[in-house]
Amino acid sequence: MCGLVGLVCPGENEAHHSRAAVAAAMRCQRHRGPDETGTWQGGEVVFGFNRLAIIDIEHSHQPLHWGPPELPGRYTINFNGEIYNYLELRAELTKQFGAVFATDGDTETIVAAYHYWGPAAVGKLRGMFAFLIWDSEHKVVFGARDPFGIKPLYFASGPGGVAFSSEKKSVLELAPTLGIRPELDRKALQHYLILQYVPEPESLHGQVHRVESGTSFTVQPGGQVVAERYFPATFRPRAVHGAADENRLYDEITAALRDSVAKHMRADVTVGSFLSGGIDSTVVAALAKEHNPDLITFTTGFERSGYSEIDVAAESAAAIGVKHVVRAVTAQEMMDALPLITWYLDDPVADPALVPLWFIAREAREHVKVVLSGEGADELFGGYTIYREPLSLAPFEKVPGALRKAMGRVSTKIPQGVRGKDLLRRGALTLEERYYGNARIFLDDQLRQVLRTYDPNVSHQDVTAKPYRESQQWDPVTRMQHVDLFTWLRGDILVKADKMTMANSLELRVPFLDPEVFKIASQIPSELKLTKETTKHALRRAIRDIVPAHVLNRRKLGFPVPIRHWLKDEMHDWAVDIVRQSQTDQYIDKTAVLRVIEEHRSGVADNSRRIWALIVFMLWHGIFIEGRIRPVVPEPHYPVKL
């Protein structure tokens, strides 16, 4: 787990003169790898690396050079992440090809696999990764990002070459070297206000992009990035006949999870686990305890009824038999920390849950260097309540199209807050029109009120059209899962998980997001994902003997944040000040925003999520565009408590 920078220049001379620029660009991502830092230049390529040492601590320094005996040092790799099946791959490469390794780490495994298997090697990797491999013989960089998008990889190109980095801040630092001047992308801003995140491959700077999840690519000096998807995330629900068939499926789920957690525990440092009140993090912690009897778990919450899982998590920790650490967060702490957190994010993400995640990651880093977490279970196993929507809206499917549209027009005449208004509106829409993830921040009529640059041609369907096209043959629930894998999961869930933990030099691992776990999860038929009583039915059945009974059928809260209450009281004046000081008038109607804040305070409407999205954007703008807000970034220093 680290931070990388890579610059592919048009010529060797340009690369030589760019080494200092790469070294400077690495400084703003020091938190990703405080243990070691270094740069290397070879041919037309410059690599920079910040290391958080987890495996083979004494060796596996990066950038790492490797080659077969006949061409030693042919390849140089820059790698962020972990490969959990590296021991098995090393053994296979040694047996099949006689591969020779100089270290005991996973980094060499990637480059050796690429040498012997070519680009197909990336499909054999079980892990989270973003890497660049420079082949000095063929003068080409090959790179890839993991199947689900756990680890980030930004890039930008210009006359001065192509720059890659784990953090967008570093790419922006290299903009003068590339000969570009990135500016705010208005379309990406509108997508952000609709979705609460900027969807891949966009960023809020128009000339800076992200390599998409499950994608590999090549780039030659003086050329452009040529990308290809290697992981299509295909669901293949299988028929299940009778109890024996069903139980066999549950056993396969259990076995896949147990194997994944075992491999995710591989490390030369202490591994802990996040623990909420839900089954996802609880089963991960319970399985991790099988490998580390001294496991420490961590949870966060708020001292407000209905907004904390501290008590349930503590009960789970006691039942599992692990040491447990709690960190409660106040409204004032959130307000004080948000500018710094926004700096770490690179692009705005309007998910309030990322703030307590930052605090608990900071607490965890004083005890461990790695934590496991339960992200991905909902997308793979059907855990979101909204996945039941096709059942509740089934009667609308029988209504002729013209009449359904008329019902939609009627819904616009119903006053806001009247029961049934949204049901009627959503029932009038097709699945492709109505479903675009778990967060729906601004609807079109609301956007028109606050966004000066509103474009009626910009829609969530710009983002969801492709996954919907790819999933036409599946049932509605599976199609929703597929859409979430390419939108909500990689746009919100995994961004906050990576950014908030790496901000604290803490490695986060997600055992649910493993290709072997996905392989079995993708086979679950819809009737075993959701029932009238519960979500994630198959997962709950599979782990019923692993997690404590009080958690098994409990609805997960995650890390809920009481901003609905705080924005009426403790956070009201703070939010108003952010709006008034913001220099975003060319994009946002600040008078309309202040009106939205006052409507929320008076109880006319719950505008909390929309307010939060706007103030996070305004803080982001103040940092990255105006330069008016300059958070004090602490130097990474984490003495581990023994």
pLDDT, one tens digit per residue, over 208-225 is 999 999 999 999 999 999
Of the listed 2, 208, 320, 503, which one is catalytic? 2
| Contact (Cβ atoms closer than 8 angstroms) between residue 600 and residue 618 | no
Give the integer Cα–Cα distance in Å for 360 and 311. 16
CATH 3.40.50.620 fits 242-376+510-552, yes or no: yes
Binding residues for L-glutamine: 106
- Identity of residue 229: R
Which residues contribute to the annotated binding site for ATP?
Answer: 373-374
Most distant CA pair in the chain: distance in Å? 75
Q: How far is CA 24 from CA 16, 20, 162, in A?
A: 14, 6, 17
pLDDT of residue 639: 56
What are the sequence ranges of the domains in the chain? 2-229, 242-376+510-552, 385-485, 563-624
Going by the annotation, the residues of the binding site are: 106, 373-374
> What is the rounded distance in angstroms from the CA atom of residue 109 to the CA atom of residue 197?
34
In eight-state DSSP terms, residue 34 is B
pTM (2 decimals)? Answer: 0.95
Long-range contacts (CB closer than 8 Å, 24 or more residues apart) made by 595-603: 596/449, 596/450, 597/567, 597/572, 600/567, 600/568, 601/567, 601/568, 601/572, 603/568
Q: Which residue has the tokens 């604290």?
A: 504
**Residues 6+ away with beta carbon under 8 Å from 180:** 156, 157, 158, 207
What count of other Cβ atoms lies within 10 Å of the Cβ of residue 219?
Answer: 23
Report the distance separating Cα 642 and Cα 164, nearest Å. 37
Pick the CATH number of 2-229 from 1.10.510.10, 3.30.420.10, 3.30.1490.20, 3.60.20.10: 3.60.20.10
Calculate the dihedral angle through the C-alpha atoms of 457, 460, 464, 465, rounding to the nearest 10 degrees.
-20
For residue 63, say if its preceding peptide bond is cis, omega within 30 degrees of 0.
Answer: yes
Which two tokens mark 519? 């392989």
**Which of 294, 292, 298 is closest to 265 using CA atoms?**
292
pLDDT value at position 532?
84
In this prediction, the residues of the chain whose per-residue pLDDT falls under 70 are 1, 305-306, 417, 555-559, 637-642
In this prediction, residue 637 carries a pLDDT of: 66
**Known catalytic membership, residue 9:** no
For the record, the structure tokens of 589 come out as 């109607």
Say how far apart CA 303 and CA 560 lie, in whole Å.
12
